[in-house]
Amino acid sequence: MAHLQTSFLTHSQKVCRLYKAAARTLESYFIHRHYVRYQITLLRHRFEEKKDVEDLREAKKLLKLGEEELFMKQHPQPRKFALSDGGSAYMRTVVTPDYVLDWWHPDEKAVYPDYFAKREQRKKEYVEYYEKKYGKAPEVEHN
């Protein structure tokens, strides 16, 4: 994560991010979905009470107090989504290479005749393109 500020956030964006972070913190503390929703509703009520503050200095002060409260109440092991950065399944997606389709049995390929016909045509076009751009590969003799 970058530490250099590249853009400015409006006050409302900061408040929305504070609310979301506080809601995620509540999700880390409570297991039962219904109780979490109740706690988040109470949190939303706290935010709604202060939404009509006109004085920007007072609003900034409330934002700073909210951020400090969030910091003091942060969970020691915050809940993370499995596929998100730091989650248990992060970067575990296996991308199957295209050449695996060449290993399929002809009976398996017969199930998708149009796809494999088009695939073979594209492979030939790619070989022609490659040879046109880089030339033919030299023949290697095997002993």
**Tokens read off for 142:** 């095997």
Vertex 30 angle, CA 24 and 31, to 5°? 110
Residue 113: per-residue pLDDT: 95
Which band of pLDDT confidence, cut at 50, 70 and 90, is reported for residue 2? low
Task: Quote the mean pLDDT of the chain.
Answer: 92
Residue 86: per-residue pLDDT: 86
Query: 41-64: b or e for each residue (b if 16 or more CB lie within 10 Å)?
Result: eeeeeeeeeeeeeeeeeebeebee
| Residue ranges per structural domain of the chain | 11-72, 98-134
Top mean-pLDDT range of 2-6, 82-86, 99-103: 99-103
The model's pTM is: 0.62
Asked if residue 63 lies in contact with residue 18, where contact means CB atoms within 8 angstroms, the answer is: yes
Measured CA to CA, the distance from residue 4 to residue 7 in angstroms comes to 9
DSSP state, residue 40 = H
Is 90 exceeded by the pLDDT of residue 15?
Answer: yes
Measured CA to CA, the distance from residue 49 to residue 9 in angstroms comes to 22
Residue 41: per-residue pLDDT: 97
Q: How far apart are the first and last CA of the chain?
A: 54
DSSP, collapsed to helix, strand or coil, labels residue 80 as coil
**Tokens read off for 55:** 């004085």
